[in-house]
A and B are shown apart, each in its own frame.
Chain A
Amino acid sequence: MSIREKALILDKTGIERALTRVAHEILEKNKGAGDLVLVGIQRGGVHLSKRLAEKIRQIEKVDIPVGSLDITMYRDDLATRKSQPVPQTTDISFDIQDKIMVLVDDVLFTGRTIRAALNSIMDYGRPKRIQLAVLVDRGHRELPIRADYVGKNLPTASREKVEVMLVEDGGEEKVVILGE
């Protein structure tokens, strides 16, 4: 399959600006960083959650707990996929009981990943509130799920693929649409 880059959606500066705005929105909506915890969904959301925490630290001068969550074991399509991804680490080493948790992912698409993440979180405790922050919302939801904070709304065709590349993965930082 030959895949090529069809359009550049966000460059490095664009990603930075979007994250800065999302960090401010999180603080505005929750009236500060009290009780706030961030959890990045493996793998795309993990680096983003760390960056958001760093931005919140710069703005509010407080360190908020950051964890990572792998949802492989909670997927609903194990039987139909050709193969499974190797599960990554889940590391939530802080108490989430009665906290305001912001789930962070790179791309919001069908919503099934978020459904799995919500189920998984319930096995770790009962946050007071769970919110969702994504860098890109590309539409095509299959479940009644929406994001509280969106870096970029991006109408796409469902056959296209949106790829978020970050410097942490080694390489250029950008958001692109891929297609055949």
Chain B
Amino acid sequence: MRKQQTVGGEGNGWCLITPNSGAILLKGAAMALKTKDLLAIKGMTADEIKLILDTAATFKDVSERDIKKVPTLRGKTIINLFYEASTRTRTSFELAGKRLSADVINISTSTSSVVKGETLIDTARNLEAMKCNIIIVRHSCSGAPEYLSKILKSSVINAGDGFHEHPTQALLDMFTIREKLGRLAGLTVAIVGDIAHSRVARSNIHGLTAMGAKVRVCGPPTMIPPGIECLGAEVTYDMDRAVEGADVVMMLRLQLERQASGLFPGVREYARFYGLNTARLAKAAGHALVMHPGPMNRGVEISSEVADSTAVILDQVTNGVAIRMAVMFLLSGGTKAEA
């Protein structure tokens, strides 16, 4: 459960009734996220997702300018607390914070007190004692960011927790799809790979279905969690069927570190059945987007030819900064009541 705050969405938009135009929302109308934290896509409404995507569209322009900095979060402190390896996500959050003029501190646990045995909660409390405003957490335990959010006054942003969710990744994926195809509702999105261990897949299933898209998940039966249909996704073990007519093909990274656990017989066989190559992609819609959250295993889940020619993987990375700026902006503003 995310924290519900007593912040109305009324902003300072006044509603005026005029005889000829009915009710109109006057200029200055505003919306807000009702939470202090961003922990999961599950439970978010289509309006909330749309608010983040719309806000991100304008923040994208900031990164295109000569002076890639706006003073929006001047004086705020943001801490990147990463208990798992990351290049893309950590850099993206760091750039997002810096382009909003916040001070961003990175903590990688291998060089911190964590190696001395400090617990997650103690580390977080100590960081908060130094008056930070937003803590961005990546942790291998599902639910770790939510746990912190209940104890800390700072905003907590989930940057990926275990096999649970990776909300900003799903938001940037939806942003990229909407930017390239103009809409989300009514699209068919195939998500292919290790669904069971993918927080990216879970966040995307929640987000895409909330926005009215149809989601197909596909992978070897050992990598499809039982009951995933309950989230509103269609399941198939046949990649050709998953890709057929799809508007978006989202490939997940094959987590090679799990090879020893016997979930799949071998990399070559996996690539043959579940790899995306030009021939398979031809079965998708003509305008189909190929996406990948990175890092890619070229020649395994995605062929180099597809990755370098048709994929929008680098657009996803560009948009990631804009999405994270929008989330920080929306969580920072406003006089949110203490929970």
- Chain A interface (Cβ < 8 Å from any Cβ of B): 1, 3, 5, 43-44, 70, 72-75, 78-90, 119-120, 123-124, 161, 163, 170-172, 178
Q: Contacts A73-B62, A123-B70 given; indicate if A82 touches B335 (C-beta within 8 A).
A: yes
In the complex, how many angstroms separate the beta carbon of A8 from the nearest chain B beta carbon?
Answer: 12
Chain B residue nearest in CB terms to A123: B67
| CB atoms of B8 and A82 under 8 A apart | yes
Q: B27 an interface residue at 8 Å Cβ cutoff?
A: yes
User: With a CB–CB cut-off of 8 A, which chain A residues contact B8?
Assistant: 82-83
User: With a CB–CB cut-off of 8 A, which chain A residues contact B12?
Assistant: 81-82
Q: B332 an interface residue at 8 Å Cβ cutoff?
A: yes
| CB atoms of B333 and A79 under 8 A apart | yes
| CB atoms of A84 and B30 under 8 A apart | yes
Chain B residue nearest in CB terms to A116: B71
User: What is the CA–CA distance of A5 and B329 in the complex, to the nearest angstrom?
Assistant: 34
Interface size on B, residues (CB 8 A): 41
- Chain B interface (Cβ < 8 Å from any Cβ of A): 7-12, 14-16, 18, 20-21, 24, 26-32, 51, 54-55, 58-59, 61-62, 65, 67, 69-73, 100, 329-330, 332-335
| CB atoms of B15 and A3 under 8 A apart | yes
User: What is the CA–CA distance of A178 and B29 in the complex, to the nearest angstrom?
Assistant: 16
| CB atoms of A178 and B333 under 8 A apart | no
| CB atoms of A85 and B51 under 8 A apart | no
Between A and B, 8 residue pairs with Cβ closer than 8 Å are A79-B334, A81-B12, A81-B333, A82-B8, A82-B10, A83-B9, A84-B32, A84-B333
User: With a CB–CB cut-off of 8 A, which chain B residues contact A178?
Assistant: 14, 16
Majority SS at the chain B contact face: loop
| CB atoms of B31 and A44 under 8 A apart | no
| CB atoms of A119 and B31 under 8 A apart | no
When the two chains form the complex, which single residue of A1, A84, A89 contacts B329, counting CB atoms closer than 8 Å?
Answer: A84
Q: Contacts A82-B10, A90-B58 given; indicate if A124 touches B65 (C-beta within 8 A).
A: yes
In the complex, how many angstroms separate the beta carbon of A93 from the nearest chain B beta carbon?
Answer: 11
| CB atoms of B16 and A83 under 8 A apart | no
When the two chains form the complex, which single residue of B11, B61, B62, B73 contacts A85, counting CB atoms closer than 8 Å?
Answer: B11
User: With a CB–CB cut-off of 8 A, which chain B residues contact A75?
Assistant: 72
